[in-house]
Amino acid sequence: MPHAHGDPLDAINLIANVTIFLGYLVVPFTVLVRMPLTMFVRVSGALFFLTCGITHLAMAFGQERHDLMVFNHVVQAAAVLCFVLSFARMVAVASTRLEERRKAASAAPDAGGAR
């Protein structure tokens, strides 16, 4: 249901969306940099979080249908696919390596066993 311009919901919407924008903006600098990621995963993740933030900033000011937002959403769509697929690949490779190490460790003779 539409509401009158300037009512409290406008202020709440503005504050919430600006807060979400700021949250997305800090993820690359507080989370992604602390994870052992490839440069491609890190950059595509940063681009994804940045474009998510831009979407919420546009929503905060009622500009989500602006022409530049169409471009932002296209970049966001590509970034999320690159980020998720490349991150999933990293996790799969790491999981395989971990399982191989576990198998090798369980097959190795006990180093502290009887002599």
> By residue range, what is the domain housing residue 100?
8-104
In a domain, 21, yes or no: yes
In a domain, 111, yes or no: no
Chain-centre distance for alpha carbon 98: 24
In a domain, 78, yes or no: yes
Yes or no: say if 56 and 20 are a contact pair by the CB < 8 Å rule.
yes
In a domain, 93, yes or no: yes
pLDDT value at residue 114:
53
In a domain, 115, yes or no: no
pLDDT value at residue 83:
98
In a domain, 88, yes or no: yes
pLDDT value at residue 3:
57
The residue with tokens 């990621």 is 37
Average pLDDT over residues 15-43: 96
Based on the structure, what is the number of domains in the chain? 1
In a domain, 1, yes or no: no
User: Does residue 40 register a pLDDT over 90?
Assistant: yes
3-state secondary structure of 74: helix
User: Does residue 2 register a pLDDT over 80?
Assistant: no
In a domain, 3, yes or no: no
